[in-house]
Amino acid sequence: MTDLTQQKNEALTAIAAAASLEALDEQRVAALGKKGWVSLALKTLGGMSPEERQEAAPAIQSVRAEIAGAIEGKKAELEAAELEAKLASETLDLTLPAPLQAKGSVHPVSQVMDELAEIFADLGFEVATGPEIEDDWHNFTALNMDESHPARAMHDTFYFPDAAPDGGQMLLRTHTSPVQIRTMKAVSENSPGGAPIRLIAPGRVYRSDSDATHTPMFHQVEGLVIDRDIHLGHLKWTLETFLKAFFERDDIVLRLRPSYFPFTEPSVEVDVGYSNEEGRRVVGGSGDDAGHDWMELLGSGMVNARVLQMGGFDPGEWQGFAWGLGVDRLAMLKYGMNDLRAFFDGDPRWLAHYGFAAVDQPTLSAGVGAGA
Ligand code: DAH
């Protein structure tokens, strides 16, 4: 029994002195492990007489409990010390801003459409929309292209097999111009006092065409103004004001070339350039002498009297101008991409490089292309 007391005292001293959880565990194995001295002492109970055992068993059990309790206590102490040391060595500055983990980005086409809406809103234009699945009356006939019109063939139209309600064909709109018709009709039929009209209609259009500068789906923005006493000068001022705001420079100059569109008369094609000290240069172009000093940008003109009539407006009273412009092309010019196909590949690397942060809303006061 004295042996046991001595062993116990030695063990308690060693446990109290253990400097680490590992050292403490060695003590646990030495005492309570399978071959530990407490376990061996317990085994001796089997060879004892009942009287001896009655006396020895509680003594051994109490030694065992005392050792186990000491180990438990020391373990908690060592773990607390370890946590204390860890807390003291590791710091976390809770006043730091959360790391910006923006997922996704705004596509340049969406960005440019937002820029257009912002610029034209300032000029009093509303954004109008129309269906991408159109009927051929809105897409062609009402725009002065009847069934036999050769311009229809140039549009590489995707047709649907089903007939339109009026018996004509359904198709994927080949341009945003049918929005002109839909808006004019809505105004002339439902709210005759709704004119003047000032709208832009950005959106997807479709043509069966594909190479580096053509994709079967692309984007246009249509513009339409209907008012009294409207002339080409208003068209030129509007486009010039828009392009200066869009490209964020004042030295933009326009060239209007006579052209032909069935829905405008007269029709003009608008080229854009800008001049600097070295002479006339083109936005995004090389500025050399090889005829590249003007960039053909958009089609426009005075709304054809027949189109006004189709839209329910009396051409004797109302005039208007319209234009149609490629949004993807505008984005390419402003933000320097050269392959249109990459716009629609959905490659995350391209999107990360050319995309815009969602928080980066274009505003006129901050510059519509801020953060580009
Ligand atoms: N709709 C024409 C196209 O897709 C573009 C266009 C030209 C629209 C002249 C117009 C316009 O409104 O006046 O090619």
pLDDT in tens, 40-72: 988 998 899 999 889 888 989 999 999 999 999
Q: Are residues 290 and 332 in the same domain?
A: yes
Asked if residue 156 and residue 24 are part of one domain, the reply reads: no
Domain-terminating residue out of 57, 88, 119: 88
- Check whether residue 303 and residue 260 sit in a common domain: yes
Structural domains of the chain, count: 2
Give the model's pLDDT for residue 9.
92
**Is 227 buried (19+), middle (13-18) or exposed (0-12) by CB count in 10 A?**
middle
Do the domain assignments include residue 266?
A: yes
Binding site residue list: 265
For residue 350, is pLDDT > 80?
Answer: yes
pLDDT of 115 reads: 95
Domain identity same for 247 and 135:
yes
Residue 177 CA to ligand 1 center (angstroms) comes to 6
In a domain? residue 99: no
Q: Are residues 221 and 264 in the same domain?
A: yes
112 in the same domain as 42:
no
| Arithmetic mean of pLDDT over the chain | 88
Share of the chain above pLDDT 90, in %: 61
Alpha carbons 240 and 242: distance in angstroms, whole number: 5
Residue 94 CA to ligand 1 center (angstroms) comes to 57
Specify whether the CB–CB gap between 123 and 368 falls below 8 A.
Answer: no
Range of the domain at 19: 2-88
- The answer to whether residue 331 is domain-embedded is yes
Same domain, 190 and 331: yes
pLDDT digits (tens, 9 = 90+) for 250-290: 878 888 999 999 999 999 999 887 655 555 555 555 544 44
Q: Please report whether residue 371 resides in a domain.
A: no
Residue 229, pLDDT above cutoff 90: yes
Q: Which atom of ligand 1 is nearest to 301's Cα?
A: 13
Digit-coded pLDDT (tens) for 318-341: 999 999 999 998 998 888 888 889
Model pLDDT for residues 99-158, shown as the tens digit of each residue: 766 678 899 999 999 999 999 999 999 999 999 999 999 999 999 998 888 878 878 899
Task: Evaluate whether residue 368 is within a structural domain.
Answer: no
- What are 211-223's pLDDT values in tens digits? 877 899 999 999 9
- Indicate the residue among 88, 118, 143 that finishes a domain: 88
pLDDT bucket at 372, cuts 50 / 70 / 90: very low
Higher pLDDT pick, 279 / 247: 247
Query: Per the domain annotation, does 253 fall within a domain?
Result: yes
144 and 244 share a domain? Answer: yes
* pLDDT reported for residue 231: 95
Give yes or no for residue 301 CB within 6 A of ligand 1.
Answer: yes
Query: Looking at the domain assignment, is residue 139 inside a domain?
Result: yes
- 129 C-alpha to ligand 1 centroid (Å): 16
Residue 140 phi, psi (nearest 5) = -125, -65
Q: What is the pLDDT of residue 279?
A: 52
Last residue of a domain, one of 88, 120, 138: 88
Q: Is the pLDDT of residue 371 over 80?
A: no
* Ligand 1 atom closest to residue 176's alpha carbon, by position in its atom list: 1
Residue of 300, 303, 304, 310 to mutate, ligand 1, most atoms within 8 A of C-beta: 300
CATH number at residue 280: 3.30.930.10
Whether 370 shows a pLDDT value over 50: the answer reads no
- Asked if residue 69 and residue 129 are part of one domain, the reply reads no
In a domain, 161, yes or no: yes
One domain for residues 24 and 75: yes
Q: Are residues 204 and 277 in the same domain?
A: yes
Is the pLDDT at 367 greater than 90? The verdict is no
Phi then psi for 279, rounded to 5 degrees? 110, -165
Tell me, what's the pLDDT at 282?
52
Ligand 1 in reach of 222 Cβ (< 6 A): yes
Domain match, 258 and 320 both: yes
For residue 299, the CA-to-ligand 1 centroid distance in Å is: 5
Query: What's the 3-state SS for the chain?
Result: CHHHHHHHHHHHHHHHHCCCHHHHHHHHHHHHCCCCHHHHHHHHHHHCCHHHHHHHHHHHHHHHHHHHHHHHHHHHHHHHHHHHHHHHHCCCCCCCCCCCCCCCCECHHHHHHHHHHHHHHHCCCEECCCCCEEEHHHHCHHHCCCCCCHHHHCCCCCEEEEECCCCCEEEECCCCCHHHHHHHHHHHHHCHHHCCEEEEEEEEEECCCCECCECCEEEEEEEEEEECCCCHHHHHHHHHHHHHHHHCCCCEEEEEEEEEECCEEEEEEEEEEEEECCEEECCCCCCCCCCCCCEEEEEEEEECHHHHHHCCCCCCCCEEEEEEEEHHHHHHHHHCCCCHHHHHCCCHHHHHHHCECCCCCCECCCECCCCC
Residue 262 in contact with ligand 1 by CB distance below 6 A: no
